[in-house]
Amino acid sequence: MAFLLFVLYVVVEVAAVVAVGSAIGAVWTVCLLIAGSALGLVLVGSQGRRVIEGLRGAALGLRSPEGAIADGVLVALGAVLMFVPGLVTSVLGLLLLIPPTRSVLRPAVVYIATRRFGKLQTGPVVVEGEVVSQWTEPQLRPKAIAPVIIDADTGWHTDPM
């Protein structure tokens, strides 16, 4: 199955490069690939910082944690697609890195994650209980080291005390 997906990926990317190359020329196609990679690099940095700020806001209760995590997943997927060679993957990566596309896809990611992993716990878990007894560790006192005298001739030791 993985091999078939890889073959499909190669066929789609080669077809896209050939189609774009025949439409605008080989030099402009290479320039388009380089420009897309540069734009993707800039977007990965800026949107990565934005995701970190969103996660901090979710930790402080200013934003929903589901949306912040979904944005993180979409930016990470977009970054991976930007580093996979090809026109189609670069376009898909750029689409995932721009905020308007992420806002459209965010509910779908939250829905899929909720179905797969269940509802996220947003507050502290309180477990009711009663303390029956409390165990405390006894105070440990250091032991005194007694001097030992070893006879050099016999090897026997004697206790001077």
- Whether residue 150 lies inside any domain: the answer is no
pLDDT tens figures, 2-50: 999 999 999 999 999 999 999 999 999 999 999 999 999 999 999 999 9
Q: Which of 139, 67, 143 is nearest to 104 (CA)?
A: 67
- Whether pTM > 0.85 for this model: the answer is no
| Distance, CA of 135 to chain centre | 40
Domain count, the chain: 1
Q: Which residue range is the domain that position 43 belongs to?
A: 11-117
- Whether residue 160 lies inside any domain: the answer is no
